[in-house]
């Protein structure tokens, strides 16, 4: 607007000068020997430039009017207010040690984003009392009346709450819990959530966390991860572990090929009747077997015990030559 206002005044001053008089005197002072025809041409040129300047002046006046109109229009618009986000109330805390840390975090986030509603510590402390249940409210009700700081200092309330309820599970600190963890029957994805929760509180570096995590996995999964992911971070190694574990669980189980396989019984083998009597003792069978040339294994005739068809031999020894 300042630029637009400055142009009209300067142009008006120029237009107030008589173009013919100015051009004539200027030409007479600078070019006294010019041809009258040339002087006439110059005067016409000055007159044309004067008309052009008047046109510019009209355009500037219009722009200035439009500018003022837009300024008034913008100032008349209602002010825009940012949309508010409605935060959900924190879950009630019943005094469980494993939930204390998350509850405190939720409460702080809620208060930080509701500063217009909770401008004093007294309101924050009173609201905290409504979020407690079970053992937590029993403790808070006992100290609410005896210690005035619980009603006036939100930081003191949180500090005392954590001292009472935020203790390690099973009496073990975070490092001890991590060292005694094992995957067990859980999937790698489920186990990774538990491990990462403790890892975030341990302060250990990636190298230590990666080594302890790998050692706590099941043996089969450790074998699959051998020589894999050596140069990746702890987070990437956990992701790799979950992928491999999912593939192992989706793949069909491998058949166990270790040990000897028994030869299946012969099909359509002709049955032979044993000539051994039920009352024969081993010594009697041996003497009579030699006389009748019977098999010492089954007591039948026609073969020896070394080649007895009724013997069940390991697969690896079935075709081995007999040793006499």
Pick the more confident residue, 298 or 41: 41
Pick the more confident residue, 274 or 253: 253
Q: Quick: pLDDT tens for 140-180.
A: 998 898 888 998 999 999 998 988 887 665 556 778 888 88
Residue 13 has pLDDT above 70, yes or no: no
Instruction: Write down the CATH number for the domain with range 171-250.
Output: 1.10.1200
| C-alpha separations of 249 from 184, 185, 187, 242, 244 in Å | 14, 12, 9, 11, 9
Q: In whole angstroms, what is the distance from residue 289 CA to residue 291 CA?
A: 5
| Least trusted range by pLDDT, from 2-11, 106-115, 193-202, 237-246 | 2-11
Residue 4 has pLDDT above 70, yes or no: no
Instruction: Answer yes or no: are the C-beta atoms of 276 and 292 closer than 8 Å.
Output: no
Residue 69 has pLDDT above 60, yes or no: yes
Residue 272 has pLDDT above 60, yes or no: no
What angle do helix axes 36-76 and 19-30 make, rounded to 10 degrees? 130
Q: Quick: pLDDT tens for 110-128.
A: 998 888 888 899 999 999 9
Residue 269 has pLDDT above 50, yes or no: no
Residue 267 has pLDDT above 60, yes or no: no
Give the global pTM. Answer: 0.43
């Amino acid at each position: 607007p300042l630029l637009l206002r400055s142009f009209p005044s300067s142009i008006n001053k120029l237009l107030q000068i008589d173009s013919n008089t100015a051009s004539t005197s200027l030409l007479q002072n600078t070019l006294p020997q010019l041809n009258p025809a040339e002087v006439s041409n110059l005067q016409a040129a000055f007159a044309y430039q004067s008309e052009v300047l008047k046109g510019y002046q009209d355009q500037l006046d219009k722009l200035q009017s439009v500018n003022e109109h837009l300024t008034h229009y913008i100032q008349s618009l209602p002010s825009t207010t940012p949309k508010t986000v409605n935060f959900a109330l924190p879950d009630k805390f019943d005094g469980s040690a494993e939930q204390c840390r998350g509850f405190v975090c939720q409460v702080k986030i809620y208060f930080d984003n509701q500063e217009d509603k909770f401008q004093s510590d007294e309101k924050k402390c009173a609201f905290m009392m409504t979020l407690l249940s079970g053992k937590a409210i029993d403790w808070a009700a006992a100290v609410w009346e005896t210690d005035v700081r619980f009603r006036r200092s939100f930081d003191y309330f949180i500090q005392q709450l954590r001292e009472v309820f935020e203790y390690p599970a099973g009496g073990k600190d975070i490092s001890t819990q991590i060292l005694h963890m094992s995957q067990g029957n859980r999937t790698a994805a489920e186990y990774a959530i538990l491990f990462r929760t403790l890892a975030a509180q341990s302060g250990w570096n990636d190298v230590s966390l990666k080594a302890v995590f790998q050692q706590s996995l099941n043996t089969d999964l450790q074998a699959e991860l051998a020589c894999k992911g050596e140069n990746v971070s702890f987070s990437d190694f956990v992701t790799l572990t979950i992928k491999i574990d999912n593939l192992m669980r989706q793949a069909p189980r491998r058949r166990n090929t270790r040990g000897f396989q028994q030869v299946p019984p012969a099909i359509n083998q002709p049955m032979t009747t044993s000539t051994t009597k039920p009352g024969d003792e081993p010594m009697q069978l041996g003497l009579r077997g030699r006389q009748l040339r019977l098999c010492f294994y089954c007591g039948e005739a026609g073969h020896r015990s070394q080649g007895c068809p009724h013997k069940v031999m390991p697969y690896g020894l079935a075709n081995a030559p007999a040793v006499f």
